[in-house]
Amino acid sequence: MKIDPDKCVACGNCVAVCPMGAIHIDPEVGRAVVDQDECVECFACYRGMSKEHLNPVMVRAIRKTARLFRFRFDPEPDICPTDAIVPQDLAWPRIVRRAFSDPQVPHESTGIHGRGTAEVKTNDVTARVNEGEAGFVVEFGRPGVGTRFRDIERVTAALAELGVEFETNNPVTSLMRDPSRGLLRGDILGEKILSAIVEIKTKLEQVPAVLRRIKDLGREVDTVISVGVSTRCDTEGNDSLRGMLEREGYAAYRGKTNLGLGRVTVRNEA
């Protein structure tokens, strides 16, 4: 992301809005600037802020005068008053930042395959995770910390050693040069992103071992990891995962419950 110095009036609103803290007002030039190495191209500033289209020269003059009288400039805090935030053209490998950070990016535009699966959200019609199996979503960087691919690789390589199976229709897997060893493409390792989700599937009885390994690996990375684990319930609606998680000392307080209301309708009508 870039800020147009001709338009920016240094109101400072975008500074707090950036989840990565990548924007600051440069006192030398009196404009907001984006630290390109820290910016993950999430578009929270560009899309999340409302925009007025005020004349920058006029706004600067008003602000200058107000400052003389020590008036407080109190604009709406989620507005860029002069529409000064401008997306830039992204080339490889920087484009992976947007692919993993902007939830609304048109995915095909980034050249990365897979969007991540619907996990168990559509399990009632896809049967992705069956009874006796566990699906893991291991997420790096959220909330609000961000991560670089080299940290993700540290974990995927270690998980590969455990013999886990990486979900093929997943963007991180699509960037692996060697999925059997969990190794990622070398040219993206330094790229910073808001978050990436690694998806793996194991047998249910492997859950404690995988969780312990992830816990240990958490000490070796420079970011936060959040973990979700799923399974299919039995015919009575019971699941054997909860007890297992509690025995391992996890809170497992909240999560998602698939109600099983989905069914095949396309084929029925054909």
Partner 1 sequence: MTNTLHRYSEHYALEPAPNPAPVRDDYIVFAMASRGINDDDLVEKYRGFLHLALKHKPVNIGDATKGGALRPRQDMNPTAHWRRGHQPDPEQVIAGIEGHTTVAAVFDNYAAMEAFVEELKAADLGISVNISAPMAEAERCCRDAGIVRHSVEYSLGFRGRVDKLPDAKTLELSTMCGHGMLSADFVRKMVDWVKENRRTPAEAARYMARFCTCGVFNVSRAERIIRKACALQR
Give every CB contact of residue 11 below 8 A, 6+ residues apart in sequence: 59, 63, 73, 75, 80, 81
Work out what residue 229 binds among ligand SF4, partner 1, none; the CB cut-off runs from 5 to 8 Å by kind. partner 1
Give every CB contact of residue 192 below 8 A, 6+ residues apart in sequence: 20, 37, 38, 39, 40, 97, 146, 147, 148
Phi, psi torsion values for 202, nearest 5 degrees: -140, 175
Work out what residue 82 binds among partner 1, ligand SF4, none; the CB cut-off runs from 5 to 8 Å by kind. ligand SF4
**Lookup result for tokens 């009508």:** 269
Binding mask 125-164 for partner 1 (x = CB under 8 A): xx--x-----x-x-x-xxxxx-------------------
Residue 186 or 255: which CB sits closer to partner 1? Answer: 255
Phi, psi torsion values for 224, nearest 5 degrees: -95, 150
Residue 85 token pair:
């935030």
Question: Binding of ligand SF4 at residue 42 (CB under 6 A)?
Answer: yes
Question: Binding of ligand SF4 at residue 32 (CB under 6 A)?
Answer: yes
CA distance 252 to 161: 26
Binding mask 64-103 for ligand SF4 (x = CB under 6 A): ----------------xxx-xx------------------
Question: Binding of partner 1 at residue 37 (CB under 8 A)?
Answer: no
Positions in 238-257 near partner 1 (CB under 8 A): 239, 241-242, 245, 250-257
CA distance 119 to 228: 10
Question: Binding of ligand SF4 at residue 159 (CB under 6 A)?
Answer: no
Work out what residue 29 binds among partner 1, ligand SF4, none; the CB cut-off runs from 5 to 8 Å by kind. none
CB atoms within 10 A of CB 45: 24
Work out what residue 3 binds among partner 1, ligand SF4, none; the CB cut-off runs from 5 to 8 Å by kind. ligand SF4
Positions in 65-104 near partner 1 (CB under 8 A): 74-79, 83, 103-104
Question: Binding of partner 1 at residue 50 (CB under 8 A)?
Answer: yes
Question: Binding of ligand SF4 at residue 45 (CB under 6 A)?
Answer: yes
CA distance 119 to 133: 13
Binding mask 11-30 for partner 1 (x = CB under 8 A): ----xxxxx-x---------
Maximum CA pair distance of the chain? Answer: 73
Work out what residue 230 binds among ligand SF4, partner 1, none; the CB cut-off runs from 5 to 8 Å by kind. partner 1
Residue 14 or 172: which CB sits closer to ligand SF4? Answer: 14
Tally of residues, the chain: 270
CA distance 151 to 224: 10
239 burial class (0-12, 13-18, 19+ CB within 10 angstroms)?
A: middle
CA distance 10 to 122: 46
Which residues lie near ligand SF4 (CB under 6 A)? Answer: 1, 3, 8-14, 18-20, 22-23, 32, 34, 39-45, 80-82, 84-85
